[in-house]
Amino acid sequence: MYIWRKRATRDWIRKQSAQLFRRFGPALAVVERPGKMQVLVDVSCANQKEAVALQHEFGGTIEKLRADWLEQFVKRSRVKPLRIGTRQIVIPAEAAFGTGEHATTAMCLRMLERITQNRDDGWTMLDAGTGSGILAIAGSCLGAKRVVAIDNDPLACSIALRNARANRASNIEFQTGDVLKLKVGGKFDVITANLFSEILMAALPIWSRHLASDGCLILSGILRSQEQMLVAALRRNHFTAREIKRRGKWIALWGVRSRKRI
Q: What is the pLDDT of residue 126?
A: 97
In whole angstroms, give the CA distance from residue 78 to residue 101: 11
C-alpha span between 253 and 108 (Å, rounded): 8
**CA atoms of 39 and 61, how far apart (whole Å):** 14
From 101, 9, 4, 18, select the one nearest 53 (Cα to Cα): 4
Q: What is the pLDDT of residue 194?
A: 94
Per-residue pLDDT, 262: 37
Per-residue pLDDT of the chain (262 residues; tens, 9 = 90+): 788 888 888 788 777 767 776 777 656 766 655 456 777 787 878 788 888 988 898 898 988 877 665 555 445 545 566 777 667 776 765 544 455 568 899 899 999 999 998 887 789 999 999 988 999 999 999 999 999 999 988 777 877 888 888 888 889 999 988 899 888 888 999 999 999 999 999 999 999 999 999 999 999 999 999 999 999 999 999 999 999 999 989 999 999 998 754 3
